[in-house]
């Protein structure tokens, strides 16, 4: 079961700027349509408990399940999770292997539950760089959940924000070279339409766990006017209460979209 009744939330530590789409104004209020999370701290969580890093990643995957449930209950339309960056390939072969095994396990065990709850799976990043069996599982999950409309779960796999922008620029350059568009046709909307996140709601809130204050090459274009929230909680300890606190912090902010 993915969704169930929610509890009250404690207060969150916050620090943020901006809003999502220029031209709006006033208090943010309500629930953000699109929330993204940099899930950081699995390794430190495991080290603090004297456990292998793999245990931290497993607990982090369970945290993701809890947060997805809480986001759906709160009315969030899209939840984007930074699961595996293009830089994560630099980690030890053992750790990458553990992460791939965990990805296989959850793709096999969770897709049907997502489908039954009306959750659409979306992948951002170059997932085709993974092993063929993982690619097959991903594409089966995408196909199985394609028609769902209750909520979208976007998972960033082999994702890097700079590479995403390069791909978008290359596609637009190819279209321009073919005479399909002119230089004047390339504007913010044209670039956004070529990004991995095309078709998703604009990003409202970006959360990073574990006390770090950086974006780590995540959603560099999309975060331009999003609210930013940094919390000290390590990702495996981040659950429904912490998400609800983050949503409450978002709702208390005033979003000016560059105006007053």
Q: Give the model confidence (pLDDT) of 200-234 as tens digits.
A: 999 999 999 999 999 999 999 999 999 999 999 99
Q: What is the pLDDT of residue 53?
A: 93
Which tens digit of pLDDT belongs to each residue from 101-158?
999 999 999 999 999 999 999 999 999 999 999 999 999 999 999 999 999 999 999 9
Identify the residue whose tokens are 């208090």. 27
pLDDT of residue 255: 77
The tokens describing 103, both together, are 């990805």
Confidence class for position 259, pLDDT limits 50, 70, 90? low
Residue ranges of domains in the chain: 34-251
CA atoms of 163 and 69, how far apart (whole Å): 30
pLDDT > 70: what percent of the chain? Answer: 87
59/56 Cα distance (integer angstroms): 5
- Mean pLDDT over 235-254 rounds to 95
Residue 22 has pLDDT above 80, yes or no: no
* pLDDT at position 99: 93
Dist CA 29 CA 6 (whole Å): 19
Cβ(31)–Cβ(74) below 8 Å: yes
Q: How confident is the model at residue 2 (pLDDT cuts 50, 70, 90)?
A: very low
The pLDDT of residue 178: 97
* Model confidence at 16: pLDDT above 50: no
Distance, in Å, from the CA atom of 126 to the CA atom of 121, rounded to the nearest integer, reads 15
CATH 3.40.1180.10 fits 34-251, yes or no: yes
Query: Confidence band (pLDDT; 50, 70, 90) for 7?
Result: very low
For residue 163, pLDDT over 80 is answered with yes
pLDDT for position 6 = 36
Q: Over the stretch 73-84, which tens digit does the pLDDT of each residue have? A: 999 999 999 999
Contact 191, 168 (CB under 8 A): yes
Stated pTM of the model: 0.87
Average pLDDT in the 29-46 region? 94
> What is the pLDDT averaged over residues 163-174?
97
CA distance 12 to 58: 25
**Token pair belonging to 84:** 């595996």
Q: Give helix 93-116 / helix 53-74 axis angle, nearest 10°.
A: 30
Indicate the pLDDT class of residue 258, thresholds 50, 70 and 90.
low
Catalytic residues: 40, 88
Kindly state the tokens that stand for 119.
């959750």
Contact between 123 and 157 (Cβ < 8 Å): yes
Determine what percent of the chain is predicted with pLDDT higher than 90: 85
């Amino acid at each position: 079961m993915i969704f169930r009744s929610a509890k009250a939330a404690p207060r969150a530590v916050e620090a943020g700027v901006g809003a999502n789409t220029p031209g709006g104004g006033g208090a943010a209020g309500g629930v953000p349509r699109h929330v993204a999370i940099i899930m950081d701290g699995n390794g430190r969580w495991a080290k603090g408990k004297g456990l292998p890093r793999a245990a931290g990643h497993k607990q982090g995957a369970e945290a993701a399940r809890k947060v997805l449930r809480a986001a759906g209950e709160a009315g969030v339309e899209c939840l984007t999770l930074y699961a595996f960056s293009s830089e994560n390939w630099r980690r030890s072969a053992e750790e990458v292997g553990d992460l791939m095994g965990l990805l296989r396990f959850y793709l096999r065990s969770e897709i049907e539950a997502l489908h039954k709850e009306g959750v659409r799976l979306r992948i951002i990043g170059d997932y085709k760089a993974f092993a063929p069996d993982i690619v097959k599982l991903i594409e089966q999950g995408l196909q199985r959940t394609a028609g769902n409309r209750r909520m979208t779960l976007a998972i960033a796999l082999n994702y890097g924000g700079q590479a995403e922008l390069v791909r978008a620029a290359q596609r637009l350059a190819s279209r321009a070279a073919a005479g399909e568009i002119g230089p004047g046709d390339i504007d913010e909307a044209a670039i956004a339409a070529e990004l991995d996140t095309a078709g998703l709601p604009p990003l409202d809130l970006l959360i990073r766990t574990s006390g770090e204050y950086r974006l780590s090459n995540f959603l560099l274009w999309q975060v331009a006017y999003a609210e930013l929230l940094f919390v000290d909680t390590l990702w495996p300890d981040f659950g429904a209460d912490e998400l609800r606190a983050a949503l409450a912090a978002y709702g208390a902010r005033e979003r000016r979209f560059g105006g007053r």
